[in-house]
Amino acid sequence: MKHLLIILFILILNGCSGTQKILSPKGSQLKIVSENDIDCCCENKGIVTASQGYGIGWSVTEANESALNEVRNKAAKSGGNSIKIIEANSTGDPFNGGGITYIAGVYICDYDKINN
């Protein structure tokens, strides 16, 4: 019985920790654009969201990076080359639960027009 409780405890801890989202090659190529860039030279492709709960031993920075990586990866998969962060929301803290959520607009932008 004692061994079963230890195994159950370890499984619960692993389930709470989550995994760090790795930035994909396409996600790393996305640029973050401003409202002026969007008005000038971008086509709206929709909205993506991503959340990351605080894992055991995770800092706020690690959870933030993981959620942002996920939102960039989703935007790249949906065909965008740019994102604009609409909302970033943090709840709780690493010691008491909670996490970070991003909502981002996805766009295809013409950077030749933006840079001129």
SS3 content of the chain, % helix, strand, coil (to 5): 45, 35, 25
In sequence order, which residues have a C-beta less than 8 Å from that of residue 52 and are 6 or more positions away? Answer: 18, 21, 63, 64, 66, 67, 70, 99, 100
> Which helix (H) or strand (E) element contains residue 20?
none
pTM over 0.85: no
Residue 35 tokens read as 């409202």
In residues, how long is the chain? Answer: 116
How many angstroms separate the CA atoms of 27 and 43, rounded?
18
Q: What is the pLDDT along the chain (116 residues), one digit of tens a residue?
A: 554 444 434 434 444 446 788 999 999 999 999 999 999 999 999 999 999 988 777 788 888 999 999 999 999 999 999 999 999 998 887 777 788 999 999 999 998 888 76
